[in-house]
Structure 1
Amino acid sequence: MLHPSSGFRGTRAGVTEGTGSSLENGDPGKSVPRMRVTYTCASGHLTQPVFCELPEDQIPAEWECRRCGGAATRDGLPPEAHSTTEEGYKTHLEYVKERRSGEDAEAVLAGALERLRARGVLPDELLGDT
């Protein structure tokens, strides 16, 4: 899993304060405080990205392993072991199922079929339900 902000949180070697738009108020040539964070994937690979000095709650819990591409965590446990309140990607059908019950779906389908039959688009014999 590629972390959505992975390209924006890391720093490159030689970054100094005052060279970026967010660090305009610093002394030119002064080094930006940095920290190295260690992540371990399920295969045991270590990944150590460098971040600007960040509060603990802003450091990502997961990072993409540079060797195998798997999810790496700070404590070495698989991502499934962590309780997350974050919901993953949902399909359109999953959102619809949250809003409608099975009975609602049957009613909507019956109404749509009736409208199609009334317009002559869908013959009654096609589905064999008459």
Structure 2
Amino acid sequence: MVHSASAFRGTRVGVTEGAGPKNQSEAASGERVPRIRVSFWCAKGHETQLVFLRLPDEQLPTVWDCRRCGAPASRDGKEADLPDPLDEGFKSHLEYVKERRSDQDAEAVLAGALEKLRAGGVLPDELLRDA
């Protein structure tokens, strides 16, 4: 039997155990730490709003990933337009596969998979003839 004190409990990042909706310093002093809502915009115009502790402007991040498209987003919307020379951008699984295989390799893998399906009787032949 698992003891309740040792049971795994899920919490959000940044929340301290036993503090409830306030963090420990807030709970000890009884005052809320001032917060600020910051907006970030990506090159596509998507807005991402985040809440941070009220810090000096230079300590707040200048770039954040867009929640909708994953592109870099900045507070003024202009820095996000500049592509990062080290970032290749989002690649789909198919794009990664195409980097590793030639068209001839892909045809051979597809033909082998179709033969296995036909031999195993998993799909009717009329569905696989045109493939």
**Which category of TM-score, normalised to the shorter sequence, fits these structures?**
0.3 to 0.5
Which one scores higher on RCO, CA 8 angstroms, separation ≥ 6? 1
TM-score, normalisation: structure 1: 0.43
- What is the TM-score with the length of structure 2 in the denominator? 0.43
